[in-house]
Amino acid sequence: MSKSKVGIQLPRQARNQTVEERFSLELEALSPLAEIVEIRADNPAEFAAGVSEVDAIITSWGLRIDTQVIDALQNCVVIGVGSVGVDMVDIEAATKAGIVVTNVPDVFIEEVADHAMMLLLDMARRTPAMVRLAREDWYAARPLLSKVPRLLGQTLGLYAFGNVARCTARRAQAFGMRVLAYDPYVSELEISAAGVEPVSFPELLERSDYVSIHAPHNEETHHAFAASAFARMKPSAVVINTARGPLIDEAALIAALSAGEIAGAGLDVLEQEPPEPDNPLFDMENVVLTPHVASATTRMRPETRRRVGREVALVLRGRWPMSCVNPTVLPRVELERWQPYPMNRGPNR
């Protein structure tokens, strides 16, 4: 019996290794039933031609899997995305084509929550200004921080209440912060059970001292934080974003920061990545920027690769994946719904 073919775009910095060596982590789950096909492509047309006959695609970077690519797929049953966000895939087109899309929503949530809290603390303790004053005017630092309220008792608002937001809430609560959350797709009971107060979006903006963004990027959330949102926030408020850059209208953010409508921003993601060198955010002392690294640790990349391989392998074996981004496609495909059982017990015990 011939093996299935899994298409992966050739890495930008492909080393002098065999395919088996380069994708050894994905193949831990895939090797019994599939082989990796590397796709050399510089544009969507080339990528579409390269993946036209594969049974599955794995992606986490590079060319977007858009309608042009999906329309070219003849045999593909699953697209495995090696990240939490899936904006590199046209989900609607994949669903229409009957293709399952999976992701890895729970691999690096602790890391991103750590990073969100780090950005919050940097802004709370005015780290950019403290670094400058340590060098330029040592004795001016304490008077500046003497005007800053302590974190205990301040309010953190979470925009969306998924896995990362829940971890961030626990960290903020440990610092004595009150936590609010807006998420129309999570019940109030579930939010309240975490010791978090469910609120509307306007209330989140108006009451929060810090707003941390954790939603996926889609049509509903695009530029959710625009001029009208910043106008509702406290002049002392800070916005934190470890999700996706386009959730914030960057021009509106720069204007709000410049005008003092809000006090600061901690950003791991931007609308354009990498940003232009003359981006005004670089020169603002009330902004902390990191280069889309919130999930990066020694564990993140290896475990993500293993997990996406397992997800694709489940579908190629004719089973539902553990995480399906487009669950409405499942009743339309010939996949078996399965229930996991403890590894030390057989299915018939």
Contact indicator for 232, 258 with CB cutoff of 8 Å: no
Q: What's the Cα-to-Cα distance from 290 to each of 55, 117, 256, 315, rounded to whole Å?
A: 37, 13, 20, 36
DSSP 137-176: -GGGHHHHHTTSPPSTT-EEEEES-SHHHHHHHHHHHHTT
Residue type, 306: R
Across-strand partners of 178? 155
User: E strands of 196-236, at which residues?
Assistant: 197-198, 210-213
Q: Which of 292, 301, 303, 317 is catalytic?
A: 292
> In angstroms, rounded to a whole number, what is the distance separating the alpha carbons of residues 84 and 187?
21
Residue 43 tokens read as 């544009």
**Which among 273, 254, 272, 274 has a CA at the least distance from the CA of 264?**
254
R_g of the chain, CA atoms, integer Å: 22
Judge whether 214 counts as a catalytic residue: no
Judge whether 110 counts as a catalytic residue: no
Q: Which of 22, 115, 207, 244 is catalytic?
A: 244
Q: Which of 20, 92, 273, 285 is catalytic?
A: 273
Segment holding 79, helix H or strand E: strand 78-81
Judge whether 292 counts as a catalytic residue: yes
Contact indicator for 307, 313 with CB cutoff of 8 Å: no
Across-strand partners of 13? none
- Please list the active-site residues: 244, 273, 292
